[in-house]
Structure 1
C-alpha cells in the first residue's frame, strides 16, 4: 500500500523528524511500562543507560531535538527516581539520577572539538570556567576518594559544557531558540500542573521521598501531607524547581499561542507554592531587566501580557488553600530579623567566610561537603582562590557579554533576564550546579550565540 507524503505527515501528528521521536517515545513508553507493571527495579540501570543512548543519537542526528531532550531529562528524572524508589525501596545515592548528567555530558565532544578554535575569541569565558573546574578536580583526586570527586565533577562541569555547546552552535540559533521556547512552554504547563496537584494531594511517592529525606535530616521541603509541601514538582527540591519555573515564566512573556495562559496560571501558582524567596527575587529582577531592555513597542506588549497574566493568577493566589501559605511567606520579607531560616543562614555564612577566605589551594571538588548557603563559599572551599578566580572570571565575562547582546530580539532579552535572575541567587546558594546551573550557563550560552549570530548577519549584509 502506498502512502503519500501528506498522509505520513498527518500520521506523524507534527512530530518531526520521525526518527527522533520514535527514539524518544520508545524510551518514554518503555519507562512507563516498567513502572505500570511494577518491574521498575531494572530502570535503576536501564533508565540512565537508555537516556544516554537516546541523547547520543539525538546529539549526532538531530541536534535541535537533543537540546529539548536534555532539558526534559533534568525536569523529569527526579520524579522517575521517586517512582522507582517507591516501588522498590529507598536507595541513596540513586543511579537513576545520573541520567541527566550523562545526557548533558555528551557535549564534552563539542568542547573538545571547538575550544582550540574559540578560546581566543568570545568562547574564552567557558574555557576559563572549565579550567577552574579541572583544577578543582585534580586537587580533589589528591585529597579525596575518586568516586566522590567524579560525581562532583559531573555536577560542576555539565552546566558549563552545555552552555558552551549552545554558544558554538550559533549558526543554528533560530532553531535552538524555537526548541527552547517550546520546551519551556510545555515544561511550565506539565511541571506547574503537577506542582499544584502535588500541593493539594501529596502523592504517595512524594510523601515516601519526603519521609526518607527527613530521616537524613533534610526537613526544608515541608511536611509529607497535603497543603504542607513546599512544592518541588517533578524535581529534587523546591529551590531548583523554582529556578526552572522562573526561567519558564520569563520566557512565557514572549511565547506566542494561547497555551501560554494556562501554562502561566499553573506555573505562577506552583512557583509561589515553592515558597522560595530567592527565586521570587530573581523573577522580579528578571522582569525589570526584561521590560527595560526591549524596544518601546515590545515593552507595551509585554506590559499588557503581564497584566493579563496577573489577572489570571491573582484570583488563584487569594483563594484557600493557597492564600495562607503564600501570604505568610511573603510577610517574611518585611520581618527578616525574626525569620529563623534567614538568621540561621546568616550565622552559618559568617562562621564559614573566614575559613573560606583562607583557602588558597582549595579542598578540591567534593571537598566542600553538602551545598553551602552561598556559591561564593562553595567555590572557595572547592576550587580555592586559584580555581575560583578562573571560574568566576569566566562567569563574570559572560554576564558582561550578555549586556552587549542585541535588544531587538525579545528572546535574547529574556535569556539575559533569566541569566541575571539566576546569577543574583548565587548569594543564597550553589545555583551554578545541577539543573539550576544548566539554566544559568545554558541561557548565558544561548544569549552569546545570539550575539554572535546577529553580528555575523550584520557583517554579511554590509
Structure 2
C-alpha cells in the first residue's frame, strides 16, 4: 500500500517525497484547493466595488484618491481579522497622512490640488469604529454618552446650513473622532489596550523628525514646498528665526497637543523603562521646539492636578521630568535653537505689559465673543470656526484659539453642555472605584481626560488625533468600570453599607433583647 512518504495520497494530493525530512515539511507548504462556499460570494461584490473605485483614480493619476481608498479598505479589512493591526494602521495614518500629501506634491503632482488624503484618517476611524460596535455591543451608559455628544454637535447644524461645505466637514470630523469611544471600549473588553503601545513606537519617530526640522538650517524639499504655498503663518520661517517644528503633521499646535498627551501617558504609565525614558526625552525636546506655550502651560497645570489625584504617586516621575528639562537647558540652552526656545518661554509673562500678542488675542476673544456665544441659542453654526472654517466662503473666522469657546460659539450653550457634560458624565461613570480595581491600568485614562480638559482652554481638542486619543481613553475607562470584578467590589460595598444602616436603624428602634435567664446547676448525683 502506498504511503505519503512513498508517493501516495495525503488529503487528496500526491506528495513526491523520496526524502522523509521533505515529507514532514511538505504538508505545510503544499497548496490546498478549496471549493467556494456561499459566504465567499458576499465578498465578490465588495472586491468589484473597490476595483471600480480605484480604476478612475489610477487612470487619471489621482494618487491621493487612490491612497484614500487603499488605506480605508486596508484598515477595515485588517481590523476584521486582526484588530490590533487595523488600529495600528489607522493611528499611523493619522500621523503620516499630511507627510504623504507633501511627498506626493513634491515627487508626483505638478501643482497643488485638493487635500483629499486628509479625509483618509477620518474615514478609516469611522469604518473600524463601526466594526468595533458590531464586535462588542456597548452598554447603555456608553451609548447615552455618545448620543448626548452627537446631539450637542448636531444642535449647531441649523445655523450652519447657509455654508454647507464647512458644516458637512465639521459634522463628519467631530462624529468620526467620537467613535474612538467604541474602539477603547472594545479593546478593554477583549483584554488588549494597544493605543499607548502603538504611540510608544510611533511618537518617538515623529518627535525625532520635529527635532531635525528645528535644528537643520534647511528644511527637506517637500516640507519647504508645502511651507511656501500652503502652510499657516503660525509656523514662521527659518530666515526670521520664528520657525516652529511641525513634523509629519500640518501645524505646530496639532503636534504639540499630541506630544503633550503622549508625555502625560508616559508620566502616569505603569512602568518607567529605559525606552520610555528615551521616548519621553525625545517627546519633551520636540514639544519645546514646537514653541507652543499653551501646550507647555497645559502640561504643567495637568501635572499639578494629577498629583493629588494620584495621591502623590507621580511625584518621583515629575522629578525625573524636571531633571530631563534641566539637562536639555544645560546642553542646548546656549545654542541658537535653544535660545529661541528660552526666549519664547520667557515671553509668557509679557501679557501684562502688552508685549504678548498671542495671549492678548485670546483674552480679547473671551471677553468679546464669550458673551455673544452665551446668548445664541443654537450657536453660530457648526463649521463657522476651528479647522472646518478653512472651507468657508465667509473669510477668516473671528478667533482661532480656546476650545471651549470654539465649541460654544458653534453649538450654543445647550450644545456645549451636552458635549462636555457627556465627557464629564462618562469620566465619573468610568472612574468609580478607581482606587480599588486595577488602579494602575485605569489611572492613565483619567489622566488623559484631565490633560485634554486643560488643553481645551487653548485649542480645539475634539478634532483630529488628540480627539481620538481622548475618546479611546474614555471608552476604555467606562468599559473598565463594567467588568464583573469591579461590579462585585461595588456590590460588596453596597451590602456592607446596607448592613451598617440596618444595624443603626434596628439599634435605634428596637429594644435590646432580654438577657437569657441563668442556668441552674445540675443536681449532684
- TM score, norm. by length of structure 2: 0.71
Determine whether 1:245 maps to 2:254.
Answer: no
Please give the secondary structure, in 1, of the residue aligned with 2:233: coil
Aligned to 1:350: 367
For residues 99-148 of structure 1, the C-alpha deviation after alignment (integer angstroms, 9 at most, x for no partner) is 111111114525875998633x35422221022223434654x4332x43
Match of 2:176 in 1: 158
- In structure 1, the gaps of 5 or more residues are 9-38
SS in 1 for 2:246: coil
How far did 1:459 drift?
5.5
In the alignment of these two chains, the number of paired residues is: 420
Corresponding residue for residue 101 of structure 1: 122
- Between 1:397-406 and 1:385-394, the stretch displaced more is 397-406
Cα deviation for residue 98 of structure 1 reads 0.9
Q: Is the 8 A contact 1:291 1:302 kept in 2?
A: no
Query: 1:409-449: per-residue Cα shift (whole Å, max 9, x none)?
Result: 33432222222112112222222112222232222222323
Q: Which protein is bigger by CA-based radius of gyration?
A: 2
What are the residue-to-residue correspondences of 1:46-85 with 2, within 5 Å? 46-85=66-105
* 1:16 alignment counterpart: none
Secondary structure at the counterpart of residue 379 of structure 1 = helix
Shift of 1:220: 0.7
Q: Within 5 Å, which residues of 2 pair with 1:415-426?
A: 415-426=445-456
Tell me if structure 2 keeps the 8 A contact 1:206–1:224: no
C-alpha RMSD over aligned residues: 3.4
Q: Secondary structure at the match of 1:427?
A: coil
- Please state how far the C-alpha of 1:56 moved relative to its aligned partner: 0.4
Q: For 2:403, which of 375, 385, 407 is the aligned residue?
A: 375
The residue number in structure 2 matching 1:329 is 344
Q: Which residue of 1 aligns with 2:163?
A: 144
Contact map agreement 1:401 1:448 (CA 8 A) in 2: yes
The structural deviation recorded for 1:324 is 0.8
- The aligned residue for residue 247 of structure 2 is 233
Distance 1:189 1:84, change over 3 A: same
Q: Secondary structure at the match of 1:382?
A: helix
Could you tell me whether the CA contact under 8 Å between 1:170 and 1:453 is conserved in 2?
no
Mapping of 1:401-412 within 5 angstroms? 401=429, 403-404=431-432, 406-407=434-435, 409-412=439-442
CA contact (8 A) 1:159 1:433 kept: yes
Distance in 1 separating the partners of 2:474 and 2:229: 36
Distance 2:213 2:408 in 1: 37
Cα distance in 1, alignment partners of residues 374 and 422 from structure 2:
20
1:151-189 CA-partner distances (Å, limit 9, x unpaired): 2112211221112331255312x412xx22221211231
Q: Judging changes above 3 Å, is the alpha-carbon distance between structure 1 residues 195 and 116 closer, same or farther for their aligned structure 2 residues? A: closer
CA distance in 2, matches of 1:278, 1:293: 22
Structure 2 equivalent of residue 208 of structure 1: 225
Asked if the contact 2:209/2:247 (under 8 Å) is kept, the reply is yes
Corresponding residue to 2:478 among 428, 436, 448: 448
Residue 200 of structure 2 is matched in structure 1 by 185
Greater percentage in helix? 1
Distance of aligned partners of 1:452 and 1:347 in 2 relative to their CA distance in 1, 3 Å threshold: same
Matches within 5 A, 1:275-286: 275-286=291-302
TM-score when normalising by structure 1: 0.80
Q: Aligned partners of 1:336, 1:41: CA distance in 2, in Å?
A: 51
